[in-house]
Structure 1
Amino acid sequence: MRFPLLRDLAHRDHEATERMDDPQCDIAALHRTYAQFETVNRLVAGWQQAYRHHVRPVLRHDRLNTLLDIGAGGADVTRAIARWAHRDGFRLKITAADPDQRAYAWAMRHHPSVDMEFCPALSSELVSQGRSFDVVISNHLLHHLTATDFQSLLHDSEQLAKSRVVHSDIRRSRIAYTLFSVGTRPFFRGSFIREDGLTSIRRSYTALELHAVAPAGWRVHAQHPWRNLLIYDAVSPAATEPNRP
């Protein structure tokens, strides 16, 4: 399939669908996609910066911290955060939740860890179980959601987080689309990385669009170069940032 460089990304293409979301998609290609997420996210997702500025400041050295990753997929982002937190001297227990049994099975098979709980569940199920976590995050999840599911996720996140929520997603732009299209063309064959990545950019929000749909209490941080962080503080930021260097 060919992907012309779009001349107009002025509006979200919320009707576009990603191949990996299809329950009948090729399972071998899906598994290669999970395996390649770590490389892609390391290059473009900006989580080391997000961890440094928005996750690490609310972690505590004097107790065990807990973190929930909603829609964790293969859990490469959460495993990276676990490494950074350990490097910084924090004890961190992670729950990687994803309702897709294919993602759950792949993560359990490839990355078992005593410090990480893999949970095949929706955020609403965790709320109904009375679960709570110091920090709640997601990566590349917001653009997948319908308007109703988007609001439900944020409501669930408010119930689940004791300190902070950080939902990180792509910020739509023609430059991002062009660079991703050109830069991934020679790579990631046999997976959905390039095709779904371009679809994701078309489905994603600008900072202004995200601000318009976010409920009261949430703030949008436009992280350089092409990321949107949607952040919610369960308590005042001043009370949750004792570890800022």
Structure 2
Amino acid sequence: MTVPDLTHRETRALELMDDPDCDLVALERTYRHFALVNGVVAGWRRVYRRRIRPLLEASPDGRLTVLDIGSGAGDVPRALADRARRDGYHLDILAVDPDPRAHAFATAERRSPVPGAAPGRDATLAFDRTTSRALVDEGRRFDLVLSNHVLHHLDPVDLGDLLDDSARLATTLVLHNDIERSRLAYLLYAAATLLPFRGSFIRHDGLLSIRRSYRVDELRREVPAGWKVEGQFPFRLLLTRTGTPETDLEAAAEAAAAQGAGGAAAHPGGTDA
């Protein structure tokens, strides 16, 4: 097969599922395949083990509030909630997506708050057709804000808006998980999806997603101060932020106060000299 030039991000071509007039049967097939595809490629088991479970362990009641932005078919928040439940912890998750088709699919798939959970007692999962900006305007806050495969869909302005919203909504941690563009990732995904996902957008949109995704150095140039970009094996990017704008300001104020106190100690009398 011919591999396209991956030197630079593809920013003009749009994924088929982003077309509001796309084939709805193929779109539903795509949504149904997401649990398998994300389970294999997205790396949320590792992210949960290294980033989310430690927060649950540190929580006095073993609970966290979570916001999933651009939740699509809802498979990622379901999997995270179920994993936490099996570990004896509790995630209260709000999964939001403004796309009416994704919201309809996610809510239609819902059978109980979380597979295997006791309604009203264990992990809670709610879906809402809304945006991160609307939640900011409502004054909502969450312990953890996350997304899966959202970054590569966004232009620079929308990316900046997402990061601003995420920082305002999260009290503890933000985790944006996405693909890292590479030739090998493209070849492996093309081979793995050649036959199994016919009649869906999995192959076409997945390959385009790789072309649209960032490399580590590219994403670092795009994000403002306070954000950290990490490469994850294999072919993954994790964009993280701890704290909030308010805590950043508090830390800066404390650092300035400490520096001032240190200067006064070193130079007694200060401005009176």
Give the shorter-chain TM-score range: over 0.9
Partners of 2:130 and 2:153 lie apart in 1 by 17
Partners of 2:63 and 2:55 lie apart in 1 by 12
Q: CA deviation at 1:84?
A: 1.1
Aligned-partner residue type, residue 36 of structure 1? H
2:70 equivalent in structure 1: 71
Partners of 2:111 and 2:164 lie apart in 1 by 30
Provide the secondary structure at the position in 1 that maps to 2:61: coil
Provide the secondary structure at the position in 2 that maps to 1:166: strand
Provide the secondary structure at the position in 2 that maps to 1:199: helix
Q: Answer 1 or 2: which has greater helix percent.
A: 2
2:140 equivalent in structure 1: 131
Matched, 1:191 2:200: yes
1:175 equivalent in structure 2: 184
Partners of 1:64 and 1:232 lie apart in 2 by 20
1:17 equivalent in structure 2: 14
Residue 222 of structure 1, aligned match among 213, 222, 231: 231
Which sections of structure 2, spanning at least 5 residues, go unmatched?
Answer: 114-123, 248-273
Partners of 1:125 and 1:194 lie apart in 2 by 33
Aligned residue runs from structure 1 range 2-151, under 5 A = 4-6=2-4, 8-59=5-56, 60-114=59-113, 115-151=124-160
Partners of 2:23 and 2:192 lie apart in 1 by 24
Q: CA deviation at 1:129?
A: 1.0
Aligned-partner residue type, residue 17 of structure 1? L
Partners of 2:156 and 2:238 lie apart in 1 by 18
Q: CA deviation at 1:113?
A: 3.6
Number of equivalences: 233
TM-score, normalization by structure 2: 0.83
Partners of 1:36 and 1:154 lie apart in 2 by 28
Aligned-partner residue type, residue 19 of structure 2? D
Q: CA deviation at 1:5?
A: 2.0
Provide the secondary structure at the position in 1 that maps to 2:177: strand
Moved more, 109-118 or 121-130: 109-118
Q: CA deviation at 1:61?
A: 4.9
Partners of 1:4 and 1:141 lie apart in 2 by 26
% of aligned pairs identical?
51
CA contact (8 A) 1:61 1:89 kept: no
TM-score, normalization by structure 1: 0.92
Partners of 1:158 and 1:71 lie apart in 2 by 16
Aligned-partner residue type, residue 27 of structure 2? L
2:175 equivalent in structure 1: 166
Which sections of structure 1, spanning at least 5 residues, go unmatched?
Answer: 237-245
| RMSD between aligned residues | 1.3
Partners of 1:12 and 1:230 lie apart in 2 by 17
Distance change (3 Å), C-alpha of 1:22 and 1:100: same
1:240 equivalent in structure 2: none
Aligned-partner residue type, residue 39 of structure 1? L
Partners of 1:19 and 1:91 lie apart in 2 by 36
1:241 equivalent in structure 2: none
CA contact (8 A) 1:61 1:91 kept: no
Partners of 1:14 and 1:94 lie apart in 2 by 31
Provide the secondary structure at the position in 2 that maps to 1:212: helix
Moved more, 49-58 or 133-142: 49-58
